[in-house]
Amino acid sequence: MMVEVRLFANLREAVGRESLFFDFSEPPTVAALLDRLLAEAPALKKILIKGRKYDDRYKLLVGSDIVFPEDFDAKTGTKFAILPPVSGG
């Protein structure tokens, strides 16, 4: 099963691509997908991981649902997106 991860702004620039695709035998958890993503695109580790934790300023979506770090081991899907922090008002 092909899983797509869409990247935006500085994440896209770090990898040089708008989307990455990974093959899994079943829909992965967010945690499994992040492990694979960071292994395949190590430039993202410097951006997305602070200390040993996911930088929650970056919003991770499964489909159209925002997933928070405490749910990374439970939520599964086939379409993911990572959005950078936004500012303004």
Q: Please, what CATH class does the domain formed by 2-83 belong to? A: alpha beta
pLDDT tens, residue by residue, 73-87: 998 989 999 999 987
- State if pTM tops 0.75: yes
In this predicted structure, what is the pLDDT of residue 3? 94
Task: Give the mean model confidence (pLDDT) for residues 14-40.
Answer: 95
State how far the alpha carbon of 87 is from the alpha carbons of 26, 53, 61, in Å. Answer: 36, 22, 18
What is the structure's pLDDT at 89? 63
Provide the pLDDT for residue 46.
94
CA atoms in the 13 A half-sphere facing the CB of 70: 0
d(CA 64, CA 46): 25
Residue 51, classed as helix, strand or coil, is coil
Neighbours of 25 (CB within 10 A): 6
pLDDT, tens digit (0-9, with 9 covering 90-100), for 40-71: 999 999 999 999 999 999 999 999 999 999 99
Structure-token pair, residue 31: 């945690």
User: Can you give the pLDDT at residue 86?
Assistant: 85
State the pLDDT at residue 43.
96
Residue 26 DSSP symbol: S
Q: Tell me how far apart the alpha carbons of residues 78 and 21 are, in angstroms, rounded to a whole number.
A: 10
pLDDT of residue 88: 72
Query: 10 Å Cβ neighbour count for 68?
Result: 12
